Amino acid sequence: MKHQRTLSIAAAAATLVALSACTGDAGGERVGRCTIADEFAAGTPVDATPSGEITFQTTALKASFSEYFTELIEDFEAAYPGTTVIWEDDPGDGSFATRLVADAQACSLADVVNMPLATAGGLREQGFLADLDAASPGIGADFIPSLWDSLVLPGDDHHYVLPWYWGLIGLQTYNTELMQRAGLDPEQPPTTFEELFDAADQVAERSNGEFSAFSASLGLRLPLEWQLQEAEVIADDGSAFVFADDPAVQEWTERMTRLALAGGIPKDSIASDDEPTALFTQGATVWGSPNASSLRYVQEGNPGVYEHVGVSSLLDRRGTAIAEVQTIGVPSTSTNPATAIAFARFLLAAEQQNRFISDPRIQNFPSTTESLGIPKLTDITGTAPIDEANRLAVELADEAEIVTIVQWSDAVANAVNAELQLALTGKKAPREALQAAQDAANRVIGADAR
């Protein structure tokens, strides 16, 4: 379950604008040229007996978890005779949003879809997701309350997605051997981003170019690292990005630029959207991913580096970790609402999640309250880096918050990153690049035209 940067369909928002839902003719209510299911259009509970065929789409899970999903589908079909679930798995690469948009336009979205929250925000805005509170009253009763409550998307008070597995941003992973070579004390890792930049500057100064502090990984870092510093990224009403005026963002950008120009960031990573895990696994950087799940790849990819991995929290001004959640949605255009709703509930029931999250390969959290009590999360006794990361993550999970900015789409991220890359390569002053990034982001969401 590789950590992925949140994706969004807003990269193709201009196309989707033309697909807004409308009251239809004799063919029923429609979104674009797709027919919305009568039950979803009416906003009434879906109480028919599940039957017939549906499609279920996951994201990059088939290679590692085929056995789990095969058994789960068999169990569902046994519990609901007459049903058939066709499982599809999207690779979840950089074209995911584009494919999802194409499926929406072609009225061929799967009946149950796994997607990041930001992507769900785009689909919901255009009318492609069913109102689950209306379709299945009480559907959120078993989920962790804070998680469930924070899934209400801007501009609405209902739920259009269900929470599935989720990960934390609030940890730091580091190579203790490289720290020592740079004259840093691995027993005293940074506790704030200011201290992190101080330590990174020392790495740049003393590593003699043999290794770097961390990769740029702008696609992963932003806007989360700004949010961990309580920066104001977007106006409260969501109408416009305002991060260029925030002192914490300005400081972050200036320090990243100085570090990059001093050689503390691999040049190749500045224009790349790759995760930091690859370089960290190679022993090329001191710091790796802030996500505990990344350590499984380090362990498998380079046991020599894994042996020297240290883990601690890095929360900065918020004092709480940020939760990144994978969600499950049911498209309003599903042709089998009853079976789709039933399967979504079955997939996310505590019994299924207990078994899924108990898999030792998974370092994510489940979304039901009951599932937080499984031994894997309550009885961590090992001392390996993964154990340390899991223990810290469990401690932080109780108060973690979902702070996804649904307007931070792929298009916004690309626009912001392109400008910041100019700063990190010395081609534009940090403040100038930041303002240009904000202007570009606002053009994407149409804020400049309001």
Confidence of residue 145 (pLDDT cuts 50, 70, 90): confident
pLDDT, residue 6, reads 32
Residue 19 has pLDDT above 70, yes or no: no
CB distance 370 to 350 below 8 Å: yes
Residue 295 has pLDDT above 50, yes or no: yes
Instruction: Tell me the mean pLDDT in the region 370-393.
Output: 88
pLDDT at 271: 86
**What confidence score (pLDDT) does residue 362 get?**
83
- Among 261, 264, 256, smallest CA distance to 210 is for 264
Characterize the bridge pairing of strands 30-31 and 112-116.
Answer: unpaired
Alpha helices in 5-131 (DSSP H): 13-17, 38-42, 62-79, 96-105, 117-125
pLDDT value at 27 more than 60: no
Is residue 402's pLDDT more than 90?
Answer: no
pLDDT of 10 above 50 = no
Pairwise pLDDT comparison (344 vs 410), residue with the higher score: 344
Show the tokens assigned to 59.
């994201």
pLDDT single digits (tens) 50-96: 999 999 999 999 998 999 999 999 999 999 999 999 999 999 877 88
Mean pLDDT (whole number) for 91-115: 89
Query: How do residues 146-175 score in pLDDT, each as one tens digit?
Result: 788 888 877 788 999 999 998 888 899 999
Checking if the pLDDT of 18 tops 50, the result is no
Instruction: For residues 359 and 68, give the distance between their C-alpha atoms in angstroms, rounded to a whole number.
Output: 10
Neighbours of 448 (CB within 10 A): 12
Nearest by Cα to 34 from 92, 105, 121, 118: 105
Is it the case that residue 385 has pLDDT exceeding 50?
A: yes
Q: How high is the pLDDT of residue 449?
A: 63
pLDDT at 119 over 80: yes
* pLDDT at residue 24, rounded to an integer: 46
Query: Which tens digits make up the pLDDT trace of 219-246?
Result: 889 999 999 999 999 998 888 999 999 9
Tell me what the mean pLDDT of segment 362-374 comes to.
Answer: 87
pLDDT tens for residues 429-445? Answer: 999 999 999 999 999 98
Nearest Cα neighbor of 166 from 306, 320, 321, 314 is 321
Task: Specify the range with the lowest mean pLDDT, choosing from 22-31, 114-123, 369-378.
Answer: 22-31
Percent pLDDT > 90 in the chain is: 63
What is residue 26's predicted lDDT score, i.e. its pLDDT? 46
Instruction: Determine what percent of the chain is predicted with pLDDT higher than 70.
Output: 93
Q: At what angle do helices 430-444 and 247-261 cross, to 10 degrees?
A: 120
pLDDT interval class at 251 (50, 70, 90): very high
Q: Which amino acid is at 49?
A: T
CB-based burial label for 417 (10 Å; 0-12, 13-18, 19+): buried
Q: In this structure, are residues 76 and 343 in contact, taking their beta carbons and an 8 Å threshold?
A: yes
Of residues 175, 202, 197, the one with CA closest to residue 186: 175
Q: Kindly provide the residue ranges of all beta strands, DSSP E only, lying in 330-392, ordered along the sequence.
A: none
**Looking at the predicted structure, is the pLDDT value of residue 450 above 70?**
no
pLDDT band (50, 70, 90) for residue 113: very high
Which tokens is 52 given? 């017939």
Q: Which amino acid is at 274?
A: D
Position 389 scores a pLDDT of: 87
* List of residues 6+ apart from 415 with CB closer than 8 A: 437, 440, 441, 443, 444
Half-sphere exposure of 367 (CA within 13 A, CB side): 28
